[in-house]
């Protein structure tokens, strides 16, 4: 393709120099085939979403706001059928009353476990915020306080499942197995849906009654299949990540076996009430529209992640996953081993944002972290990480976690801007850019 001088000119107005632009273009050229395969996954997932909406007869009435108890909320009930259909579950709970991903996961666990049961994580330490839910770090209202025990089997050093250890850990008390699909902020590979499937079939052979729950955060629509299709009983996620498509202003979901979802509903509202109550207020239309856009938004975020990986890998930085690796979530880590480039990276992402672009992110002490943290986010929805964002603890090895991008063009611009900041401060080896 010939370069469009108007685009180059616009980038220049944003302060992106010719060298940075040309380097980005060279990297993008090499990613054509990769991008085409992402497009194909997005196409399939888009059709899946539309088919689910058609099958369940989504209509304009579904967008009406309900208030109070929310009895017979057609929009809410239909949306839950659409989610169940898309993710191939028997049922789903999709609610604005589920405040975030951690809440959705806590709800799924607390509603399906009883005192005396045991929870097992066969994939190592779960996401940070779950430590307090489980009671690994003592906390008010944790599962531990209710007499629910926890066991963990770490992944083997190469990232494989410790099948022997898992077999030993499963006992008469084991009720739920929790499998985190995305690596989150851990240094281990993200699990593909097919790897999750292998793990689940191994577990079910040992004890068929175990409920296999997958923390699906950041994984939705990245692949052609979702974990319920690989044997999971329950998947859980946040609507301000992938499935909300950037439009949902709040919310979480649980999808899977009817009984699991039912338990969650009775816990979310009350025994006796379950799914029957819970007004959708005015947000339900954005849930539908967000789900409709989600395959294409996730596609943009994936392109951004792979573009960033290849840019920074070519410049000699450690990237995880590697530029050429297959993708199972939308997170990209870049390790700088030094403070200055990490901060410059985040400042570049911020400078490219549609919202709050004029602020400069700085490292600061955040509750719950043992070091300063830097966060770049210029999002329409507070904390939304399907929107272009980057953050990380400001300590060795100075890794920044980069994710999101509602459009590929914005993700690309953000990454070019990050590189521009490094370039200006002489934090990159310019010889590698030629
Ligand atoms: C984001 C995330 C969570 C928690 O979600 P919040 O909305 O931040 O509470 C849990 N697990 C994983 C893997 C996540 O990425």
User: Residue 367's pLDDT is what?
Assistant: 72
The rounded Å distance from CA 289 to ligand 1 centre is 22
The rounded Å distance from CA 238 to ligand 1 centre is 7
CA distance 109 to 101: 12
Residue of the CA atom closest to atom 5 of ligand 1: 101
The rounded Å distance from CA 432 to ligand 1 centre is 36
Check whether domain 66-282 has CATH 1.10.1370.40, yes or no: no
Domain boundaries, the chain: 5-44+292-433, 66-282
The rounded Å distance from CA 367 to ligand 1 centre is 17
pLDDT tens per residue, range 204-238:
999 999 999 999 999 999 999 999 999 999 999 99
Polymer length in residues for the chain: 434
CA distance 112 to 260: 6
Which tokens in the block code for residue 70?
């929310």
The rounded Å distance from CA 215 to ligand 1 centre is 8
Residue of the CA atom closest to atom 12 of ligand 1: 217
CA distance 275 to 360: 44
CA distance 330 to 241: 10
The residues with which 238 forms a beta bridge, in sequence order, are 252
Percentage with pLDDT > 70 across the chain: 100
Confidence band of 368 (pLDDT split at 50, 70, 90): low
pLDDT tens per residue, range 4-21:
999 999 999 999 999 999
Q: What mean pLDDT is predicted for residues 182-205?
A: 93
Three-state SS at 434: coil
User: Residue 130's pLDDT is what?
Assistant: 94
pLDDT tens per residue, range 227-282:
999 999 999 999 999 999 999 999 999 999 999 999 999 999 999 999 999 999 99
The rounded Å distance from CA 242 to ligand 1 centre is 11
CATH topology of domain 5-44+292-433: 3.90.1150
pLDDT tens per residue, range 62-77:
999 999 999 999 999 9
Shortest-distance atom of ligand 1 to CA 105: 10
pTM of the predicted model as reported, rounded to 2 decimal places: 0.96
pLDDT tens per residue, range 304-349:
999 999 999 999 999 999 999 999 999 999 999 999 999 999 999 9
Ligand 1, CB within 6 Å, residue ranges: 100-102, 105, 127, 129, 180, 182, 184, 215, 217-218, 238
Shortest-distance atom of ligand 1 to CA 218: 15
Which residues are within 8 A (CB) of 240 and not within 5 positions of it... i.e. 6 or more apart?
100, 101, 248, 249, 250, 251, 381, 383, 384, 385, 386
Our CA angle for 292, 386, 331, nearest 5°, is: 125
Average pLDDT value over all residues in the chain: 96
Shortest-distance atom of ligand 1 to CA 127: 11
Instruction: For residue 407, count other CB atoms closer than 10 A to its CB.
Output: 17
Give me the DSSP letters along 81-137: HHHHHHHT-SEEEEETTS-SHHHHHHHHHHHH--TT-EEEETTSSPPHHHHHHHTSS
User: Residue 312's pLDDT is what?
Assistant: 98
Peptide bond connecting 397 to the previous residue in cis, omega within 30 degrees of 0: yes
pLDDT tens per residue, range 380-396:
999 999 999 999 999 99
Confidence band of 361 (pLDDT split at 50, 70, 90): very high
Our CA angle for 168, 170, 171, nearest 5°, is: 105
Percentage with pLDDT > 90 across the chain: 94
Helix residue spans in 230-359 (DSSP H): 258-268, 284-314, 339-351
């Amino acid at each position: 393709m010939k370069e469009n001088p108007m685009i180059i000119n616009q980038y220049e107005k944003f302060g992106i120099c010719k060298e940075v632009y040309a380097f980005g273009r060279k990297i993008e050229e090499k990613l054509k085939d990769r991008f085409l395969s992402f497009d194909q996954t997005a196409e399939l997932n888009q059709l899946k979403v539309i088919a689910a909406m058609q099958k369940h007869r989504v209509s304009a009435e579904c967008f009406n706001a309900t208030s109070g108890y929310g009895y017979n909320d057609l929009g809410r009930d239909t949306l839950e059928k659409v989610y169940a259909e898309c993710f191939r579950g028997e049922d789903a709970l999709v609610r604005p009353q589920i405040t975030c991903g951690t809440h959705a996961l806590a709800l799924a666990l607390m509603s399906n476990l009883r005192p005396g049961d045991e929870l097992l994580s066969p994939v190592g330490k779960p996401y940070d915020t779950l430590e307090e839910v489980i009671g690994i770090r003592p906390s008010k209202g944790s599962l531990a306080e209710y007499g629910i025990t926890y066991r963990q089997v770490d992944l083997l050093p190469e990232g494989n499942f410790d099948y022997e250890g898992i077999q030993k850990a499963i006992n008469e008390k084991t009720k739920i197995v929790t499998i985190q699909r995305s690596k989150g902020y851990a240094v281990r590979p993200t699990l593909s849906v097919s790897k999750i499937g292998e793990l689940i079939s191994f577990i079910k052979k040992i004890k068929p009654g175990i409920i296999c729950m997958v923390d699906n955060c950041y994984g939705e629509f990245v692949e052609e299949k979702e974990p319920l299709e690989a044997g999971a009983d329950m998947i859980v996620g946040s609507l301000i990540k992938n499935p909300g498509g950037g439009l949902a202003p709040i919310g979480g979901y649980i999808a899977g076996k009817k009984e699991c979802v039912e338990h969650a509903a009775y816990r979310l509202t009350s025994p006796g009430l379950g799914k029957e109550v819970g007004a959708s207020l005015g947000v339900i239309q954005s849930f539908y529209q967000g789900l409709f856009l989600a395959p294409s938004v996730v596609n943009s975020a994936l392109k951004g992640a792979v573009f960033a990986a290849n840019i920074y890998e070519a410049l000699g930085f450690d990237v995880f996953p590697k530029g050429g690796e297959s993708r199972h979530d939308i997170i990209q880590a870049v390790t700088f081993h030094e403070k200055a480039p990490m901060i410059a990276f985040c400042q570049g992402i911020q400078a490219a944002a549609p919202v709050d672009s004029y602020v400069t992110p700085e490292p600061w002490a955040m509750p719950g972290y043992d070091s300063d943290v830097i966060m770049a986010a210029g999002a329409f929805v507070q904390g939304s990480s399907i929107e272009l964002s980057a953050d990380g603890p400001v300590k060795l090895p100075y890794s920044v976690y980069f994710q999101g991008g509602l459009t590929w063009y914005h993700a690309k611009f953000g990454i070019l801007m990050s590189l521009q900041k490094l370039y200006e401060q002489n934090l990159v080896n310019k010889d590698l850019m030629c």
